[in-house]
Structure 1
């Protein structure tokens, strides 16, 4: 009896894509290969809406592979499975041996069979009854419960062989990264923007990071914090580039020449001008921000409208209607929260006005901006861009 263990990957929404399905499946296969290449040597095959991942070297770590697979968007569920010959005795032996540690510690079970290979001589119900009987003989403390079993034993009869596994593990869901276009994500060191990045990546969007730095008011450690955040997001979103925008002179000019109550709003309008230019120059079709209505003074609807007035690309705000606690919970889930709360200031907290305007009028901001050399400041910032590769 073979003791080969593999991963069986079930596609998510990809099954609904009709004639475009192969495009999405190809993207998912590319993303999986890229992740698994860092872990070891694996053979990947796609057939019958299932991806088979098999180690091809003794050093290939299937546990590490399963952890990596759990973070790849486009996967509904996956399982660690034992490969067996397409013979009822071999399948029964595999079920008893492979799932022994699970079956010893539960009280009830059932067997579900998927017979994709219709040349197999037994029907799905016959296979389930046969394997269930063998399990009961090996573990007499068990009883069958077809409605609410403690564990379900799955038997799959496919073209490549037979596979036995227990309950499936949930995948990351969503769509394969790269199938939903490319967006520039305005990334700060806070809690919200990494969550927004994750949510867009889940819809298949490739990310391009844009970060505004204001040294010496912000430190090198603050920039490293942003890199750390994107490296964590990259566990789900894949590799990306971070563009660091020099923002010090712009902020100093706003502080010197504009009313204090408008500081944050004018700053964010500059961010929008710059981000749209940078995103367009890097083949992005839209921008993404971590704004949530009413969370801070610059995120009221009038304030957002004043910022959006300068946008030359669509602006997506995936956390716009979420409570702060909902955002925090998701940040904990994806592993960015502990990085976000590190005490390093970003440019959004530099020169914060004592009494920020919450209901601005666009014409008032435009009037205040007349004191600034807006075009020159934008071009100066664009001339000093730096790029960091995020793996």
Structure 2
């Protein structure tokens, strides 16, 4: 029955003169999301974005389209073209007949009440939008009898009817999307991606605001296993469903952590290692034309994420650091991880580079001047250069 999908967007609609840039990017991203299924006709018409379904089931296509950032809802619709020789009255009759088909489908699904909402896009038509709703509602009731009743306040089903100059459209359901802005409209960021719950969620949240993302992962192979790296690749693959291909930079931090362990106070291992990660992420990010870094830090969650710890890590870089989880509880983060399908992978038990060399009593209120003084015992620049020189890069696609 359904032959088209209406794509509803939120913030894009208030972008003024730049709106077309966001719309064009959204269309491109929808086409890319649907490529694994087939090549679809995605286009803009009357200030709306449509996807023609062809022979495909609307559930399958809606499931993919709703993942595209910038979309607040997708609506399976019946779209019928108007003939050039067809007058507006004939088109209106076609609209009513199409609305009846959609309503009968809803009745078959168990709906008990409905209302009609109309939009008169063809201003040559004699009825206003409100009058159209009354007239179409009467037509529908006369054809379905007592199978369903009208309820204008709390209807189970809304039958939405649009009379356009070139077509008529009827739809009812709206499948919620994730909102945000289209990927590629707000620059690019480098995400510090671990194998935990937090960093994939943080990456997803920043990408939702229209940023392209690349990822950098730190490991201490052979002290951490190859399985832990495979886990991170699996997380990147899940994220790629939403953000497109992910360029994953893998850095072995082993020599750096050995140097820190030999030359610095034991309790400072975590915070100094973290500062090295930030420096390396920034260095690689600048090479890749990134405008910011992303971390999954939430204030007070672990020893290095106290306000004093965050101050020390911030001081090691000059790029902006986005921390979208900073004020979120763990339960809130887990809810999002489950929603985007990263949770089950994140909780697979594998050690990471932070846990392998974690001190028994890490400093929770580090003083920046003391940390910087400890780092004087290290050849910071050489350690960073050597780590980047041995970096491995992999492009992950879903």
Shorter-chain TM band: over 0.9
1:62 to 58, 67, 74: 58
- After TM superposition, the structure 1 = structure 2 runs for residues 1-391 of structure 1, keeping only pairs within 5 Å, are 5-56=3-54, 58=55, 60-86=56-82, 87-104=91-108, 105-136=110-141, 137-391=143-397
Q: TM-score, length-normalised on structure 1?
A: 0.95
* CA drift at 1:193: 0.6
* CA drift at 1:61: 4.4
Relative distance call for 1:62 and 1:151 in structure 2 (3 A) is closer
- In structure 2, how many angstroms separate the alpha carbons of the residues matched to 1:84 and 1:128? 19
Q: Does the aligned pair in 2 maintain the 1:297–1:356 contact within 8 Å?
A: yes
Deviates more, 1:130-139 or 1:43-52: 130-139
Relative distance call for 1:327 and 1:84 in structure 2 (3 A) is same
Q: Does the aligned pair in 1 maintain the 2:5–2:53 contact within 8 Å?
A: no
* CA drift at 1:197: 0.7
Relative distance call for 1:121 and 1:224 in structure 2 (3 A) is farther
* CA drift at 1:257: 2.3
Deviates more, 1:126-135 or 1:148-157: 126-135
Relative distance call for 1:387 and 1:120 in structure 2 (3 A) is farther
- In structure 2, how many angstroms separate the alpha carbons of the residues matched to 1:227 and 1:167? 36
Deviates more, 1:112-121 or 1:181-190: 112-121
Moved over 6 A (4+): none
What runs of 5+ residues in structure 2 fail to find an aligned partner?
83-90
- In structure 1, how many angstroms separate the alpha carbons of the residues matched to 2:280 and 2:318? 10
Question: How many matched pairs?
Answer: 387
Relative distance call for 1:168 and 1:219 in structure 2 (3 A) is same
Report the 3-state secondary structure (helix = DSSP H, G, I; strand = E; otherwise coil) of the residue aligned with 1:356: coil
Report the 3-state secondary structure (helix = DSSP H, G, I; strand = E; otherwise coil) of the residue aligned with 2:217: strand
- In structure 1, how many angstroms separate the alpha carbons of the residues matched to 2:263 and 2:165? 72
Relative distance call for 1:139 and 1:336 in structure 2 (3 A) is farther
Relative distance call for 1:159 and 1:52 in structure 2 (3 A) is farther
- Map Cα deviations across residues 316-374 of structure 1 (whole Å, 9 max, x no partner): 11100111111111111111111100111121211111101001111221222222221
Relative distance call for 1:189 and 1:159 in structure 2 (3 A) is farther
